[in-house]
Amino acid sequence: MTTSIDDRTLHALRRCALNLAWCWHPKGEATWRALFPESWLSSGRNPIALVNALSEGSLPSWPEEAIEDLLTLDRQLTAAVESTETWYTGEENSIQGPVAYFSAEYGLHETLPIYSGGLGVLAGDHLKSTSDLGIPLVAIGLLYRNGYVRQHVDASGNQLAHYPEYDFGELAVVPANDANGAPLQVNVPILGEDCVCKVWKVQVGRVSLYLLDTDIAANPESLRGVTQRLYGGGTDTRIKQEIVLGIGGVRALEKLDIKPSIFHLNEGHSSFLSLERLRKAITEDGVEYDDALTEIRRTSLFTTHTPVEAGHDRFSADLFTSHMSWLSEPLGLSEQELLGLGRWPDNQDPNAEFNMTLCALHTADQVNGVAALHGEVSRQMFARYWPDRPDEETPIAHVTNGVHRPMWQDVRLWGLIGECDCDQPESYQARVDALGDYSLWHARNNARAELTEFIARRNDTRADRLQIQAPPKLNPEALTIGFARRFATYKRADLLFSDIDRLVHVLDSAPGPVQFVFAGKAHPADNPGQAVLRRVYESSLDPRLTGRVMLMEDYDMEMGRHLTRGVDVWLNTPRRPKEASGTSGMKAAMNDGLNLSILDGWWPEGYDGTNGWVIGDEYKRPDGEQDAFDLNALMYVLENYVFPLFYDRNEDGIPSGWVRMMRAAISSVTPVFNSDRQVGDYYRSHYSALAAPGEPKA
């Protein structure tokens, strides 16, 4: 029985497509796929584009079952948005206004290309868990006309950058309205001109994300391009984007009549928000500068995300002053005093740069890093900011990152194990322990086989484009080791290839076939990063490694899901302690992948001796020496632990020792390195503390 769609169905289609909660609902993807079996994948899993393409004249006839599933999805998503029974309503300390969360990028789904990598995916997962837990939060970001760089790799291994022009009508965004129902727009001053920012809204379950966009007709050409590309252009563009994000974001909240109790700065890109809040407090509310700063500090939380220098935005004194000197008068500060808000307190150099991280330290009482080790490293990096305190009392805490399980754990594995309540890790472990070897190993083999198919499809597409022969298909039964992350040099994607003869020897002496999959983009301005990419690509062409090493182009969230579900081992080789946290390894572990990692980022907290392996030790050596040491350690673990265990099969063909480690990975990592736990930690140790001064904490 089939039926054509009616108004009710059309509304349900649109409502579900516009609520990104579909992408972490266990039946979300399946529902869309059943409605659009032909076009789901070719649309790039984009429900909005598919729904837009339905036209009155040619409405499809859908099986009744598919429509029922859609209506159920719609009911469940709507009920979740409207529900008043949440984790948050069960908490004792409620907060007065919502958390205002600011981030330059959000990784919510591959169809909303406003993310680059880890920082964005973390922000996306933060919103998803916040929605699930029912914590009041409103998010602010930017909508980029060309998104983030897309990557082609040519036949010589050169990265070719391209930037598609996105049609916002095909993204899960709608124009936002202000508190009076009028189209929401705000103005921000950029070099003496009024830059008009249109505001869009994304619905992330219960959470609203507002995105500012300068590409509108009211702006001169020079200003339309401000929000063109995420992390595109030089510092000149960057400072303008950050004015739009910080200052425009605060102004948008005001027009929405939202009065946040806390501002959470996800990285320093949004630090200008504090300057705008200062201006408002002083000129509109008549508060004295010192009191205004105290209040803004009390209600701000700053999360720093990297110890790597290039991750901290700095603007020359001239550039900063040309954009921001208009604030001198309302704030009652000289130009030098204004610049001082983004400098080390002891810096007397009148030409010193304005540093967005230092600005955040100046305007936020609460500061945290994103893993225990990163907290320690950040305290060392910034101890100088608090000269009166001993280094160990530097007021920087940590909240270890987590990933959103419903988004990243394979839905079939989720089905086998059930939900994960982070407060009940024992119950989760008991359910994982109860899984039989056969079913777990069977699921693992399926996931790996699906990954090899995905890789073959992508390789065919690339080969067609380049008119070259596609590399041989990967072996769906071979031990598969994955590495995907940004190609920054400190991540050392090429460590494995620094001695190819040795690698080949170790692979040849393994008890069974072994294959590696690499993926990742280098920032277009990062030439050394692109050289690393080329080196990995060239290694994959070495005849001795053909079919054993694969470099995939255009790493994004979709590929991230396939890789972290399909691989047996997740490899991570940063130069310690430069990796602040890393989250892809958490995704792999939730999908029973075993981490093989340097003791950096989250891994010193995650590794328990049973759930993966460690490369090297905790000592720091000069770079060259360190690389040689870590390569040795990596080869040793591969040869003596990883390869033999994977191929040590019992009479049923199952590697029972390996499966035991798979169970340990799932049950040790899932309840802890989970964004529900992360957001709960932010709530208990930061949000609720900030919002309720003087009241005892629960």
Ligand X SMILES: *Cc1c(COP(=O)(O)O)cnc(C)c1O
Contact string 561-590 vs ligand X (x = CB under 6 A) = ---------------------xxxx-x---
The one-letter amino acid at 220 = P
Contacts of 202 (CB under 8 A, 6+ apart): 20, 108, 112, 172, 173, 208, 209, 210, 211
The one-letter amino acid at 160 = L
Question: Which of 28, 118, 232, 406 touches ligand X (CB under 6 A)?
Answer: 118
Cβ closest to ligand X, residue 315 vs residue 490? 490
Distance between CA 597 and CA 272 in Å, rounded?
37
Distance between CA 422 and CA 109 in Å, rounded?
24
Classify residue 393 by its DSSP letter: G
Smallest distance, ligand X to C-beta of residue 150, A = 13
CA distances in angstroms from 215 to 149, 182, 188, 686, listed in the order given? 18, 19, 14, 36
Cβ closest to ligand X, residue 458 vs residue 485? 485
Cβ closest to ligand X, residue 567 vs residue 645? 567
Contact string 485-524 vs ligand X (x = CB under 6 A) = x---------------------------------------
3-state SS, one letter per residue, for 416-458: HHCCCCCCCHHHHHHHHHCCCHHHHHHHHHHHHHHHHHHHHHH
Binding-site size, ligand X (CB under 6 A): 13
Q: Name residue 378's beta-bridge partners.
A: none
Q: Which stretch binds ligand X (CB under 6 A): 251-259, 337-345, 352-360, 549-557?
A: 549-557
Cβ closest to ligand X, residue 130 vs residue 300? 130
Cβ closest to ligand X, residue 138 vs residue 590? 590
Distance between CA 596 and CA 571 in Å, rounded?
5
Cβ closest to ligand X, residue 215 vs residue 556? 556
557 sits near ligand X (criterion: CB under 6 A): yes
Q: Which stretch binds ligand X (CB under 6 A): 117-125, 282-290, 460-468, 658-666?
A: 117-125
Smallest distance, ligand X to C-beta of residue 355, A = 23
Contact string 223-262 vs ligand X (x = CB under 6 A) = ----------------------------------------
Smallest distance, ligand X to C-beta of residue 110, A = 8
Cβ closest to ligand X, residue 340 vs residue 612? 612
560 sits near ligand X (criterion: CB under 6 A): yes
CA angle 72, 76, 81 (to 5 degrees): 150
Measured from the Cβ of residue 625, the count of other Cβ atoms closer than 10 Å reads 10
Smallest distance, ligand X to C-beta of residue 106, A = 12
142 sits near ligand X (criterion: CB under 6 A): no
Q: State which of positions 579-638 bind ligand X (CB under 6 A).
A: 582-585, 587
Smallest distance, ligand X to C-beta of residue 571, A = 11
Q: Give backbone dihedrals phi and psi of 629, rounded to 5 degrees, phi first.
A: -65, -45
Smallest distance, ligand X to C-beta of residue 533, A = 15
Residue 43, Cβ density class (10 Å: 0-12 exposed, 13-18 middle, ≥19 buried): middle
Cβ closest to ligand X, residue 583 vs residue 678? 583
Question: Which of 114, 121, 517, 664 touches ligand X (CB under 6 A)?
Answer: 121
**Secondary structure (DSSP) of 584-649:** HHHHHHHTTPEEEEES-TTHHHH--SSSEEEES-S----HHHHHHHHHHHHHHHIIIIIHHHHT--
Distance between CA 632 and CA 495 in Å, rounded?
10
Classify residue 26 by its DSSP letter: T
19 sits near ligand X (criterion: CB under 6 A): no
Question: Which of 28, 47, 117, 606 touches ligand X (CB under 6 A)?
Answer: 117
Cβ closest to ligand X, residue 88 vs residue 555? 555
Chain residue whose CB lies nearest ligand X: 560
Residue 236, Cβ density class (10 Å: 0-12 exposed, 13-18 middle, ≥19 buried): exposed
Contact string 283-322 vs ligand X (x = CB under 6 A) = ----------------------------------------
Cβ closest to ligand X, residue 557 vs residue 631? 557
Q: Give the three-state DSSP class for 268.
A: helix
Contacts of 642 (CB under 8 A, 6+ apart): 479, 481, 569, 594, 596, 613
Write out the H or E segment, with its range, that includes residue 506.
helix 500-508
Smallest distance, ligand X to C-beta of residue 529, A = 13
CA distances in angstroms from 646 to 463, 584, 606, 641, listed in the order given? 32, 22, 21, 9
Cβ closest to ligand X, residue 248 vs residue 560? 560
Is residue 190 within 8 Å of residue 222, measured between CB atoms? no
Smallest distance, ligand X to C-beta of residue 409, A = 13
556 sits near ligand X (criterion: CB under 6 A): yes
Cβ closest to ligand X, residue 414 vs residue 647? 414
Q: State which of positions 378-397 bind ligand X (CB under 6 A).
A: none
Smallest distance, ligand X to C-beta of residue 491, A = 8
> Does the CA dihedral 326-327-332-337 come out positive or negative?
negative
Distance between CA 588 and CA 567 in Å, rounded?
8
Which stretches of the chain bind ligand X, using CB under 6 A? 117-118, 121, 485, 555-557, 560, 582-585, 587
